[in-house]
Amino acid sequence: MAGYYELKKGKKYSFNLKAGNHQVILTSQTYADRGGAENGIESVRKNGTDDARFERKVSTGGKPFFSLKAANGQIIGTSERYDSEAAMENGIQSVKTNCVSGEVKDLTGA
């Protein structure tokens, strides 16, 4: 089963990249408008297959996580906190596999 994007709107727009099993693997930054969020999805598609775009980090609580960055260094999205580095690496691999998805589920109500 292929991954997909979910486009959401609260006070601002955001999106999640989900794996085929419906698990969130990347959560976007927030955007002032829909166009910004759609550009963010395109940026994930463009940068998500490049290992050099992933910044591996450790939270203040000691949990590994990653951020996906665009070529200009801006953070596009961030992962959940993982229990191990191996789980984080699996999350990165899942982003690389699923980021090319053309499917966007629009949950904005527009």
Contact predicate 86/92, CB 8 Å? no
User: What ranges do the domains of the chain cover?
Assistant: 4-102
35-92 tens-digit pLDDT: 999 999 999 999 999 999 999 999 999 999 999 999 999 999 999 999 999 999 999 9
Q: What is the pLDDT of residue 2?
A: 85
**CA angle (106 as vertex; 27, 67 as ends), nearest 5:** 15
Coil, strand or helix at 84:
coil
Judge whether residue 33 has pLDDT over 70: yes
Q: What is the CATH number of domain 4-102?
A: 2.30.29.80
